[in-house]
Amino acid sequence: MEGKTVLITGASSGIGLCAARELSKMGARVLLACRDRARGEAAQAAIARAGGKGPTELLLADLSSQQSIRALAAEVARTQPRLDVLVNNAGAVNGRRELTVDGLERTFATNHLGYFLLTNLLLDLLRRSAPSRIISVASKADQGGKIDFNDLMGERRYVGIRAYCTSKLCNVAFTFELARRLEGSGVTAVAVHPGSVASNFGMVGGGFLGTLAKLARPFQITPEQGADTIIWLASLPDASAHHGQYLERRKPIRSVRQAYDTAVQRRLWEESERLTGLSAAAAAG
C-alpha cells in the first residue's frame, strides 16, 4: 500500500479505526474523516502506537450535513494528487425521527445520502487514480429494509430499526447502480457486510436501540474481524473481479430482491441526485 492514499469515513473507532490502522501499517497514506477532533486525534495516536508506517491526516466532517460533505470532498480534491480507495463507513442509527440541518431524516441522510454525495463528488479524482476502488459498508440488516419512494423521509411512519435496515438496503442498491455506471472506468465498486461487530455503534443514543445493542454485544465479533474484508479489498493488487459484488468474509452474499431491481436502483439514484442537489451531469454516468 506504499504510495496509495485511502480515505475512510467514520475512522475514529470500530471497524473504521481498525481498517485505518492496518492500512497505515501497510504503508498507505490514510485520511481519517471524523466528526470530532479529539476522537480523531486519539485515533491518529492509536495508529502511531500500533506501528503505523504511512502518514495519517485528520479531516473533520459531519456526514449528516451536505455542506460538510462538500467541504470534505473539496479539501481532498484540492490537497490530494490521487485517491486510491474510498471507504464509505460512517453511519448512524436513531431511535427517534430527527432531521438534519438540511431538513432530511437523519438515518437516511447519513447512511445513504452521505455515501452517495461524497462518492459522486470524488469520482473525478478516483477515475484519475484508477485502478481505484470504492468500498461501501452495508449490513445484513438490509434483510429487514424496504425502500418506499413515497416515504423516504419516514414522515408517515418512523421505526428506528426499520429506517436503519432500509438505509443499509440503499447502500447495496446504490453500489449495484454505481458499479453499472462505472463499468470500464477502472474504478471498482463493492459493498461489504462486516458482520455484527462489538463497537460503540448503536449504543450512544440509549433508549430501546441502545439496550438491544448492549444485549447483543456478547455475541458479536471484534472490530478487527469486522474490518478484515475491508482491509483485504483495499489492499488487493487487483480488486476488479469483485466489481459490483456484495461481500461478507471475502465471499459474495445475496441481498433482498429489491436491491437487484434495476428500476429501484435507478430511481434511488435519481431521488438521491434530487435530495443532494447533484445534477445528472455531475453524478456518475
Enzyme catalytic residues: 164
Instruction: Give the angle 92-97-103 at the CA atoms, nearest 5°.
Output: 90
3-state helix, strand, coil in the chain (%, to 5): 50, 15, 40
Burial zone of 210 (CB within 10 Å; 0-12 exposed, 13-18 middle, 19+ buried): middle
Q: Which helix (H) or strand (E) holds 43?
A: helix 37-49
Q: How far apart are CA 138 and CA 172, in angstroms?
A: 6
Q: Report the SS3 class of residue 110.
A: helix
| Contacts of 79-84 spanning 24+ positions with Cβ under 8 A | 80/5, 80/31, 80/125, 82/5, 82/125, 82/128, 82/129, 83/5, 83/7, 83/122, 83/125, 83/126, 83/129, 83/132, 84/4, 84/5, 84/6, 84/28, 84/129, 84/132, 84/133
| Cell (9 digits) for 30 | 490514510
- Give the residue among 181, 182, 213 at the shortest CA–CA distance from 198: 213
| Cell (9 digits) for 142 | 438490509
Instruction: Give the angle 38-18-124 at the CA atoms, nearest 5°.
Output: 85
Q: What CA–CA distances, in Å, run from 63 to 8, 10, 47, 71?
A: 12, 9, 22, 11
Asked if residues 163 and 105 have their Cβ atoms less than 8 Å apart, the reply is yes
